[in-house]
């Protein structure tokens, strides 16, 4: 990436780290191209409007969500971000999810694609009692003695 593209990446990182429900529409969403693709373990959507719904859902179902980008790497039009996501659940217990995002920029410096990679089994499903038991059983099956 050239310096202009690196600046776009740094603006994108700042938008995530500064994200609130109040500034989502003005700070983060304009950085996506109109037909951007967004994927995480639960969603695969195309378009700013559908991406906005994912973030609105996050704000509706968590308290004090925040992202911290720990480091990044860029190559050409593609960046990889290692991040930590913190939030409080309905009982105000803090949770942390660690993940990586692959972000591809278009020629205008807008986000064309954002794909999140994180372990939903570890961070979500294992916190549900019945599912936790099943996951532990499966993990024992694949773990050598």
CB < 8 Å & 24+ apart, contacts of 113-119: 113/36, 113/37, 113/38, 114/32, 114/36, 114/37, 114/38, 114/39, 115/37, 115/38, 115/39, 115/40, 116/39, 116/40, 116/41, 118/40, 118/41
Supply the pLDDT for residue 140: 76
Domain range for residue 69? 3-119
Yes or no: say if 36 and 102 are a contact pair by the CB < 8 Å rule: no
pLDDT on residue 118: 87
Instruction: Classify residue 32: in a domain, yes or no.
Output: yes
Check pLDDT > 90 for residue 128: no
User: How many domains, in total, are found in the chain?
Assistant: 1
Give a yes or no: residue 98 inside a domain.
yes
Confidence of residue 144 (pLDDT cuts 50, 70, 90): confident
Kindly state whether residue 136 falls inside one of the protein's structural domains.
Answer: no
Q: How many CB atoms lie within 10 A of CB 112?
A: 17
- Residue 53, in any domain of the structure: yes
- Residue percentage of the chain with pLDDT more than 70: 85
**Residue 85 forms part of a structural domain:** yes
Residue 110 — very low, low, confident or very high, per pLDDT cuts 50/70/90? very high
pLDDT above 80: residue 3: no
Q: What is the mean pLDDT of the chain?
A: 89
Give the global pTM: 0.84
Least confidently predicted of 25-34, 91-100, 136-145: 136-145
Domain contains 90? yes
DSSP state of 125: G
Predicted confidence at residue 1, as pLDDT, reads 47
CA 123 from centroid of its chain's CA atoms = 13
Specify the CATH number for the domain of residue 62: 3.10.450.50
> Does 139 map to a domain?
no
pLDDT of residue 127: 67
Nearest to 41, CA basis, from 139, 105, 124: 124
pLDDT in tens, 27-82: 999 999 999 999 999 999 999 999 999 999 999 999 999 999 999 999 999 999 99
Q: Write out the two tokens for 33.
A: 């191209």
Residue 48 lies in a domain: yes
Q: CB-based contacts of 142: which residues, under 8 Å, 6+ apart?
A: none
């Amino acid at each position: 990436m050239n310096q202009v593209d690196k600046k776009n990446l740094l603006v994108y990182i700042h938008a995530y780290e500064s994200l609130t429900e109040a500034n989502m529409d003005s700070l983060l969403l304009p950085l996506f191209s109109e037909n951007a693709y967004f994927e995480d373990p639960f969603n695969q959507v195309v378009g700013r409007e559908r991406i906005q719904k994912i973030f609105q859902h996050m704000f509706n179902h968590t308290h004090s969500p925040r992202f911290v980008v720990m480091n990044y790497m860029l190559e050409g039009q593609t960046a990889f971000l290692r991040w930590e996501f913190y939030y409080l659940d309905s009982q105000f217990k803090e949770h942390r999810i660690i993940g990586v995002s692959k972000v591809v920029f278009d020629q205008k410096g807008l986000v064309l694609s954002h794909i999140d990679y994180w372990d939903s089994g570890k961070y979500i499903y294992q916190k549900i009692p019945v599912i936790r038991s099943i996951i532990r059983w499966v993990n024992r099956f694949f773990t050598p003695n």
